[in-house]
Amino acid sequence: MISRILLTCGEPAGIGPELVVPAMESGVDFAWIGDPRHLPQGTAYCEIVAPSDPVPAGQLPVLRHDFVAPVTPGRPDPANAQGVIEVIARAVELVMRGEAQAITTLPINKQVLKEGAAFAFPGHTEYLADLAGDVPVAMMLASTSVQPPCRVVPATIHIPLASVPAALTVDRLEQAIRITHAALIRDFGIVAPRLAVAGLNPHAGEGGAMGSEENSFIRPLLARLRGEGMDIAGPLPADTMFHANARSRYDAAICAYHDQALIPIKTLDFAGGVNVTLGLPFVRTSPDHGTAFDIAGQGVADATSTIAALRMAQDMARSRG
Ligand SMILES: NC(=O)C1=CN([C@@H]2O[C@H](COP(=O)(O)OP(=O)(O)OC[C@H]3O[C@@H](n4cnc5c(N)ncnc54)[C@H](O)[C@@H]3O)[C@@H](O)[C@H]2O)C=CC1
Ligand SMILES: NCC(=O)COP(=O)(O)O
C-alpha cells in the first residue's frame, strides 16, 4: 500500500525550502521533490530514486531535481522557473502512476514562472487540471483550526474582477457546485453535504434593486438543484454568510469570485488554511499562503498551514480509499 505523499518544492526563493523540515513534525510520511542545495544548511536528508524508497529514521526523503541557477531568498530568478514547473509535472506523473498517495504543493510565484518559462496557467489549480487531462476542477480553501469550519470555493478563480460578471455563467456555477458536492462526499466523508451559494451583488441583489444575476440565473439554478435533492441555500448576501452561526448551517460556500471566497477564510484561519483542488483524479493540497518573499530565508515562516495541508492530503486519500 503506497502511503507516501509528494511535497513539491515550489519557488525556491520563497519560504518553501524553510517549511520542509518543520513539516516533518506533521507525522505524515512525505518525500520532497526539489534541489537539495535549496534546503536550509544542516538539513538531514536522504536521496531516493522511487517515491516509496525507505530512508533512515529522521531523514527527509528527497527526489532530486536539479535547478540551473543559484538561489537568493526573496529574489526569485526566472532562470529557475522551468525547474519549478518540471517538479510539479513530475509529482503529477508519479501520483497518476500510483507511486504516491497524494501531492502537496509549496507555493509558486506565477509572475516569475510566466517571465522565465512562459507558464501559460494562472496557478497550480489550472496547471494540475491540464496535466490530469483537462478535467474540470474547483479550488477550495478549507480552515483547520476554526469551528464551525470555513470551506470556500470561488466559482471563478484567477481572473480580473472586471471579467467576473461575464465569466460567472450558469454552467460555471453549476460545475463548481457539482464538483464541490461530490468532493465533500468522496474526499471529506460528508454523507449529505449542505451547500450555500453567495450572491454576486451586494445583499444578493436585494430583489433586483442592486443587480440582476441572482434573479436571472442563480435562483433558478439553485431551485433546479434542490429539485434533484441537493441541500443548497442561497443566493445569500456574502457579507453575512461567514460568521460562526451562519457557517454552522453549511459545509461549504460556493462564492462568485476569488476575493469573496478567500478573504473570509484567510481572515479567520490564515495559519491553518489549506488549499485543495477538487475534481482531480488524485489528491492535491497546498498551504493557503504564497511565496512570502518579504520574509524568505529569515527562519520566521510559520509551517502550520503546510503541516495542515499534508495532514489533509493524507485524510483525503484515506477517505477515497
Ligand atoms: N499555492 C500557491 O502557489 C500560492 C501562491 N501564491 C503566490 O505567492 C506570491 C505572493 O503572494 P502574496 O499575496 O504576497 O501572499 P503571501 O501569502 O506570500 O504573503 C502575504 C503576507 O503573509 C505573510 N506570510 C505568508 N505566509 C506566511 C507564513 N507561512 N508564515 C508567516 N508569514 C507568512 C507574508 O510575509 C506576507 O506579509 C504571489 O505570486 C502569489 O500568486 C499565493 C497564494 C498561493
Ligand atoms: N489565491 C490562491 C492561489 O493563488 C492558489 O493558487 P494555486 O496555485 O493553488 O492555483
Phi, psi of 265 (to 5 degrees): -70, -40
Q: Do 74 and 92 belong to one domain?
A: yes
Closest CA to 320 of 281, 264, 294, 275: 281
Query: Is the CB of 302 inside a 6 Å radius of any atom of ligand 1?
Result: yes
* Residue 99, beta-bridge partner list: none
Q: Do 126 and 8 belong to one domain?
A: yes
The x, y and z cell numbers of residue 184, run together, are 465533500
CA–CA gap between residue 40 and residue 138 (Å, rounded): 34
Structural domains in the chain (count): 2
The x, y and z cell numbers of residue 24, run together, are 516533518
CA–CA gap between residue 154 and residue 4 (Å, rounded): 30
Question: Which position has the grid cell 493557503?
Answer: 288
Q: Do 57 and 151 belong to one domain?
A: no
Closest CA to 244 of 156, 148, 112: 148
CA–CA gap between residue 28 and residue 30 (Å, rounded): 6
CA angle 185, 188, 194 (to 5 degrees): 55
Q: Do 129 and 172 belong to one domain?
A: no
Q: Going by C-beta distance under 8 Å and a sequence separation of 6 or more, which residues neighbour residue 302?
A: 271
Q: Do 248 and 288 belong to one domain?
A: no
Atom of ligand 2 nearest to the CA of 108: 8
Nearest residue (CA) to ligand 1, atom 12: 290
- The whole domain housing 123 covers 1-135+280-321
CATH code of the domain containing 67: 3.40.718.10
Query: Is the CB of 262 inside a 6 Å radius of any atom of ligand 2?
Result: yes
Nearest residue (CA) to ligand 1, atom 26: 289
Report how far Cα 285 is from the mean position of its chain's Cα atoms: 5
Query: Is the CB of 199 inside a 6 Å radius of any atom of ligand 2?
Result: no
Q: What pLDDT is stored for residue 1 in this prediction?
A: 67
Kindly tell me the number of DSSP H helices and DSSP E strands found in the chain.
11, 12
The runs of H, that is alpha helices, within 255-303 are: 258-269
Q: What pLDDT is stored for residue 203 in this prediction?
A: 97
CB 97 within 8 A of CB 89: no
Q: Do 100 and 35 belong to one domain?
A: yes
Query: Is the CB of 275 inside a 6 Å radius of any atom of ligand 2?
Result: yes
CA–CA gap between residue 216 and residue 165 (Å, rounded): 13
Q: Do 99 and 67 belong to one domain?
A: yes
Q: Do 247 and 184 belong to one domain?
A: yes
Q: Which stretch of DSSP H or E encloses residue 314?
A: helix 304-320
In tens digits, the chain (321 residues) has pLDDT values of 678 999 999 999 999 999 999 999 999 999 999 999 999 999 999 999 999 999 999 999 999 999 998 999 999 999 999 999 999 999 999 999 999 999 999 999 999 999 999 999 999 999 999 999 999 999 999 999 999 999 999 999 999 999 999 999 999 999 999 999 999 999 999 999 999 999 999 999 999 999 999 999 999 999 999 999 999 999 999 999 999 999 999 999 999 999 999 999 999 999 999 999 999 999 999 999 999 999 999 999 999 999 999 999 999 999 998
Q: Do 45 and 162 belong to one domain?
A: no
The x, y and z cell numbers of residue 69, run together, are 541557477
Parallel, antiparallel or unpaired: strands 30-34 and 60-64: parallel
Closest CA to 76 of 296, 299, 302: 296
CA angle 303, 308, 311 (to 5 degrees): 125
Q: Do 173 and 127 belong to one domain?
A: no
Angle between helices 124-131 and 81-96 (to 10 degrees): 50
Q: What is the pTM of this model?
A: 0.96
CA–CA gap between residue 269 and residue 266 (Å, rounded): 5
Q: Do 17 and 102 belong to one domain?
A: yes
Q: Do 88 and 110 belong to one domain?
A: yes
Q: What is the ipTM for the molecules in this complex? A: 0.97
